[in-house]
Structure 1
Amino acid sequence: MITTTTTTIDLPSGTIEYVAHGPEDSAHPPVVFVHGVAVDHRLWSPVAEILAESGYRCYTPTLPLGSHHIPWGPEVDRSPRGAATLVREFVAELGLSQATLVANDTGGAITQFALDADPEFVRALVFTNCDAFDLFPPQPFRLLFALLRQRMLLKPLIESMRWRALRHSPLGVGLLVTDPDPDLTRSVFEPLRTDARIRDDLIAFLGQVDPAELAAVTPRMSRVDLPVTMVWGSDDRCFTPEHGRRFAAVFPNAQFIAVPGARTFVSLDAPRAVADAVAATAARI
């Protein structure tokens, strides 16, 4: 039976929830997962469960990016770099410096900011389809982010996501996953719909998303000399395979794996492919 625990952790830059999967006494390096905007730890559950069955200890935090339940608050840095600090604090507090870190979507940008601050805060990296260079975010989400930054528009837009047809359209998750789970897609928007403090956190974060800033950071990933694997959904129209290969070329020690039939949320479309890549990357440490 897989051991799964849900815990709250207080960090200098905020309080977050996380779920841990798998044995505490694992002989494998731990695995830490980083998601993007308006999703939570469940993005990674299928991958974490596969790895846990193989004996890996996996940590899936819910970062304060819109689907969180504990407000981040105005007293801290609610920017992509602030989120990156939160990730590094999480790794340090739990003693996970030997971890393989797995990132997706906006979480890929956050991970790059974390690596820019400390290129060796973890031991290996797996990127699934994500932001890099000035693609932060890609269309149509650049337009959507601009709308969501408007306080008067955010709540009505989120209220509209109660309609399944809109949630699963290109302005929702239609471009991101091949077969959306209606219950999951509805529930990830609930914190934004019901809590003004969560909406305030998202507005603050999106207000500091700057493509030019990431465009300056991504080339500096050339100094990250860790085992890196790109596990890229080939059917993604937001983060294309060409974008992924260009991103992979920045790192001195990167491999690229194309996953046919998968989109941005490759962890939901093809969890076995991601789990296999994580295990293979961890073996390169």
Structure 2
Amino acid sequence: MTVSRDERLGTAYDVELPAGTLQYHAVGNGPPIVFVHGYLVNANLWRKVVPLLSGQFRCITPDWPLGSHLVPMNRDADLSPPRIAELIADFLAALDLWDVILFGNDSGGAYSQLAAAAYPERVGRLVLSSCETPDCTWPPTPGGFPLLKRTAVHPLTYRALYQVLRWPGSWRWRNTYGWLAKYPIDEVAMRSYIDPVLNDAAIRYDGRKAIGSVDERYSRAAAATLVEQFGKPVDLLWAGDDRVFPPVHASAYAERLGTSVQVIPDSFTYVAEDQPELVAEGLAQWQR
């Protein structure tokens, strides 16, 4: 099973948290950026953008337990959205990180909103990138992603759903990764995303718990708290060609937050995959 993490992510570490062991990479010096990826990807999502930022920031890229990680959580770990938010807060506390730039993409943006809303103390700035907004469902409706939640009700249907990913031709389908990355993802990264869910029952158990419990009531409640109470900067970096999280939803959310949307052109949801230089420019502006 190919499970490599890109060397550009830096040094690998483990940290023991109440829910289990979390693996992460870190590189660079300066203010900390903690990256939060979404479902069925891992720290490799950031492999292109981290080297562009590590001269200015401490770039910290965990493998969150969302189906493409390597070390399963404790068997009894609760991986519902509120508990993933708590996991993020526990991670920041374990590393004694303060004034963090929390950068969330795809459903990682939803989890980041929950974490910032419920545990704002260590977050200095929240950056949301092509993710759930109050106008989105969770899972998002475009692309057929609600099927992911429906098949999570039973381990057999969950396992069966992902077997098609053994065929590389499926990787560009709209309900796999085709509407998430505008351009094909290299095979090493793709294998790191899909091999764990295909081959490790304990990882499937974590992934099934995570995707089976998502619901827009969580993301919408967190958004309301951010609008009414957060009181810290929230910035939106949005894929200009996003088919899953419509830019019009980002604009409406930005208006409620009193902020603006920075559009990343020629990109789908995985902006750090499609346009890493533009994402790095967007993040680096807060270190100038």
Cα deviations by residue, 1:127-157 (Å, 9 ceiling, x for unpaired): 1100122421212111233224432122222
Asked whether the 8 Å contact 1:125–1:281 carries over to 2, the reply is: no
Structure 1 gap ranges (5+): none
Query: Per the alignment, in what secondary structure is the counterpart of residue 73 of structure 1?
Result: coil
Cα deviations by residue, 1:205-256 (Å, 9 ceiling, x for unpaired): 122112223222212211222122211001111101111112222324x331
Change over 3 Å in CA distance of 1:272–1:149 after alignment to 2: farther
What pairs with 1:188-227 in structure 2 (closer than 5 Å)?
A: 188-222=193-227, 223-227=229-233
CA distance, structure 2, for counterparts of residue 68 and residue 2 of structure 1? 18
> Which position in structure 1 is the counterpart of 2:129?
128
What pairs with 1:88-237 in structure 2 (closer than 5 Å)?
A: 88-133=89-134, 134-139=136-141, 140-183=144-187, 184-222=189-227, 223-237=229-243
Asked whether the 8 Å contact 1:71–1:197 carries over to 2, the reply is: yes
Give the CA deviation at 1:282: 4.8
Structure 2 gap ranges (5+): 1-6
Give the CA deviation at 1:2: 7.3
> Which position in structure 1 is the counterpart of 2:3?
none
**Aligned-CA RMSD value:** 1.8
Asked whether the 8 Å contact 1:229–1:255 carries over to 2, the reply is: yes
Give the CA deviation at 1:11: 1.1
CA distance, structure 2, for counterparts of residue 200 and residue 258 of structure 1? 36
CA distance, structure 2, for counterparts of residue 268 and residue 56 of structure 1? 19
> Which position in structure 2 is the counterpart of 1:273?
278
State the TM-score, normalized to the length of structure 1.
Answer: 0.91
CA distance, structure 2, for counterparts of residue 99 and residue 128 of structure 1? 16
Query: Per the alignment, in what secondary structure is the counterpart of residue 123 of structure 1?
Result: strand
CA distance, structure 2, for counterparts of residue 228 and residue 190 of structure 1? 34
> Which position in structure 2 is the counterpart of 1:73?
74
> Which has more helix, going by share of residues?
2
Give the CA deviation at 1:97: 1.3
Q: How many residues align?
A: 277
